[in-house]
Amino acid sequence: MKNIRLGISILFIVVFNQGIAKNSEFLMPAKKHAKWGFINKDGDWIIDNRYEEAYYFSEGVAAVKYFGNWGYIDRAGEWIIQPAYRDAKPFKEGLACAMKYNKWGYIDKKGDWHFEPKLSVVSSFSDGKAIIRNNDGFIFINREGDRILKHSFERALPFAEGLAFVIYNGYKGYIERNGNWLIKHDYEEAYSFSEGLALVKKDKKYGFINQKGELLIDLEFEDANYFKEGLAAVKIDDRWGYINQTGAFVIETRFEAAFPFSNNFAVVKSGGKFGLINKKGDWEIAPAYSGLGRYTKALSLEEQVQDFVKAMYSDWQLKGEFEKTSTYLARVSEENREAQIREFSRQAMNSLARRHVNYDKASIGLYEADYEKFNVFVPGAKSLMLPVPLEYAKEVKENWNEVWLGNPTYTLSGDKFLITSLEARYNGQHFYYDISQDFHTTANPTLDLSFNDITFSVPQINTLSGSQTSTGSLTSIGHSDVDVNIPITDMKNKKTFALVIGNEDYSSFQMELNTSTNVDFASIDAKTFKKYLINTLGVPNENVTLLLNATAGQMRQSIARLSAIAEAYEGEAKLIFYYAGHGLPKEGTDEPYLIPVDVSSSNLDYALKLEDVFNKLTEHDSERVTAFLDACFSGGARNQGLVAARGVRIKPKSPFIMGNLIVFSASSEDQTAHPYREKAHGIFTYYLLKGLQISNGEMTYGELEDFIRTNVKRKSVLVNNKVQSPEVKVSPIFEYTWQDMRFSQKDNFSSSR
């Protein structure tokens, strides 16, 4: 049997559950007296019933209809997007369908049109794809509006779990992402796959098929809904109940209507009124409403994580009774606060995952032989592509119940867990999943671990009474001047691709290290640089790969992927590589290496030789490769080097800069790359971001180099009492042209739709 080991203590689970119950605000749409509003689990109106219609909260906002027009509100009931649309749908993957002038388009969270309203039929985005209808029929598009399959279909449903239902030339069934048929059938109706099963109808009865097209649950229901959280609502003898994936009833048929579960709750109708039940079938909200939820969701996973983090953080920042002021102030330093928020977030997600993600029910789907990966469906999480070599694939599929799944890491995407890494074991073989290599997982994480709305107040210590009072001076986590007011461009550079790595936490991966060897602020450096790439330099979000605390395998695979992109674009791509973390010279050769978080300084055989990284990035033709290295290679670091105890300070050998490469380095020769603690960034990265901010990304490379070098040299002496001199190295072909280059050359851009 498959099982999962998360290593969270029972004590923590209890504390977590209490924190959720105490601090979360459960909101769901409810209807009374012909108007919709939002209630909590006690049935109290949190947002008054004043809307004509209302959807559930999705990605932090809810679509509501007010005096005939649709707009979007936040959880306080404030307008985020004013009611100006004839129709609207919930946000999915950062975009929402909205109608104006009797035509549909897509808007972003600012209410700006991503695609102008010109369409008669649209679907929400799912896994980076949507369906629209043109004169030829239904077609699939990506977020740029590009058509991704050559065929037009008579009917189509969005892709889900790697398959989409279509009708083409009279044939009905499911196609794969490449447009090839996988299943053809003669069912009267068929719907999208969910948790490995799809609802089908024949002879007025409903049942469920698997991804082989086999009828797994017989056609015996008068009506039914899709599986969610392991259960599906079905109707027999005019009453609804819930079955599991074996077809067995777990909640008897006693309701007049029933809807899919979400976060362990489901809306049902009884006695002509709507209420909310849990998975035991017990009432959480008694049936008292004329309407409850519109495809309703309970408190989102992201909101549960955020509430828990805020509650734990509030306790953590208090000064202990037996804690000296000097010790307290050192403990709650800005860098420690960010690390603590990350840890609270990890704990919250792991604890929630124990309740929501069911590895025992994980099922295996199609094997894509060209990529040697299986589609795997895990209830409570987004599907993933598990790498399994071809030689083991058939045996693994036939013996799936003997496969062990464990050691996961998570983030959140919308209202589902996104598994970022996972280990699978079978018959002595180990298979490793990493999201950075999952080209089918296009939904981006939505959880912002910086939690910018968390504030910190250093208490004044009354030495006579020992009491604490707030100074009233609040500092937002992750908010230096370059973390806010990030310029936004209206241009899109579709052929620029970036890999951004922030390696900060070495001590968690290497037991012999303590926290002093970590690279302060490397994670926030990387996360903020990604924001500038997207917002200021116009790089599409899906073109940017962000790795935090990356292992050797993750770094090698992501660099190889960037190289493969350059090959696919046949000289037209621009690549950007950013690295913040440790660097080291190899003893004996003095060649510089980038250090993954799981590689020891005593054995650099598994580290990444900088020259090899450069060679990989330039092995295929591209328009330009720009590298930013906020690292030094002399054995020093922002606080303490990996080998500082040995007194190493080596002048590293400079690698050859060939091909079409431009390298911005944080320091030169045997210098150290220092932090800028007041700004909570590496000093090199801070002025890189500052240059992009004040110029709206329009600085030439020469201007940016001069700005970074001048400011870093001056400020480092003042704040660190150390000399640091950034430098730029370029390949011979760019020797006379690099200084005039720009990130945002408009002739290489196309306007966003």
| pLDDT score for 503 | 93
User: Which amino acid makes up residue 445?
Assistant: P
Give the three-class secondary structure for 263.
coil
Give the three-class secondary structure for 251.
strand
pLDDT tens track for 658-692: 778 999 998 876 677 888 888 889 999 999 999 99
Q: Is the pLDDT of residue 613 over 90?
A: yes
Among 123, 148, 176, residue at a domain's last position: 123
Is 611 among the domain residues?
A: yes
pLDDT tens track for 337-366: 888 888 888 888 887 787 678 888 888 888
| pLDDT score for 9 | 29
Q: Is the pLDDT of residue 310 over 80?
A: no
Question: Which residue intervals of 268-387 are DSSP H helices?
Answer: 301-316, 325-331, 334-356
| pLDDT score for 612 | 92
Q: Which two tokens stand for residue 577?
A: 């590589």
| pLDDT score for 448 | 53
Q: What percent of the chain has pLDDT over 70?
A: 83
**Residue 105: CATH number of its domain:** 2.20.25
| pLDDT score for 736 | 76
Is 389 among the domain residues?
A: no
Give the residues across from 206 on adjacent strands: 201, 221
Q: pLDDT band at 14, cuts 50/70/90? A: very low
Q: Is the pLDDT of residue 321 over 80?
A: no
Average pLDDT, the chain: 82
Q: Average pLDDT, stretch 7-17?
A: 30
Is 179 among the domain residues?
A: no
Q: Average pLDDT, stretch 115-126?
A: 86
Supply angle C-alpha 659, 663, 668, rounded to 5.
130
Give the three-class secondary structure for 327.
helix
Q: Is the pLDDT of residue 66 over 80?
A: yes
For residue 638, what are the domain limits? 494-738
Is 582 among the domain residues?
A: yes
Q: 153-156 long-range CB contacts below 8 Å, 24 or more apart?
A: 156/131
Among 123, 158, 182, residue at a domain's last position: 123
Among 123, 157, 184, residue at a domain's last position: 123
Is 308 among the domain residues?
A: no
CB of 624 closer than 8 Å to CB of 608: no
Q: Average pLDDT, stretch 310-328?
A: 75
Distances (CA, A) of 326 to 21, 314, 546, 704: 35, 20, 36, 40
Counted domains in the chain: 2
Q: 740: buried, middle or exposed (CB in 10 Å: 19+, 13-18, 0-12)?
A: exposed
Poorest-pLDDT segment among 75-79, 157-161, 378-382? 378-382
Poorest-pLDDT segment among 298-302, 555-559, 595-599, 619-623? 298-302
| CA proximity to 555, closest of 563, 387, 574 | 563
Q: pLDDT band at 718, cuts 50/70/90? A: confident
Q: Is the pLDDT of residue 63 over 90?
A: yes
The residue behind tokens 């060897």 is 517
The answer, as to whether pTM is greater than 0.75, is no
The span from the first CA to the last CA of the chain, in angstroms, equals 49
Cα 473 to Cα 483: distance, rounded to the nearest angstrom: 19
Is 663 among the domain residues?
A: yes
| pLDDT score for 573 | 93
| pLDDT score for 27 | 83
| pLDDT score for 557 | 92
| pLDDT score for 160 | 85
Poorest-pLDDT segment among 150-159, 207-216, 646-655, 744-753? 744-753
Is 275 among the domain residues?
A: no
| CA proximity to 723, closest of 678, 690, 683, 664 | 683
Q: Is the pLDDT of residue 2 over 90?
A: no
Q: What is the DSSP letter of 444?
A: P
pLDDT tens track for 541-566: 999 999 999 999 999 999 999 999 99
Q: Is the pLDDT of residue 465 over 90?
A: no
pLDDT tens track for 278-288: 999 999 888 98
Is 289 among the domain residues?
A: no
CB of 318 closer than 8 Å to CB of 300: no
**Residue 588: CATH number of its domain:** 3.40.50.1460
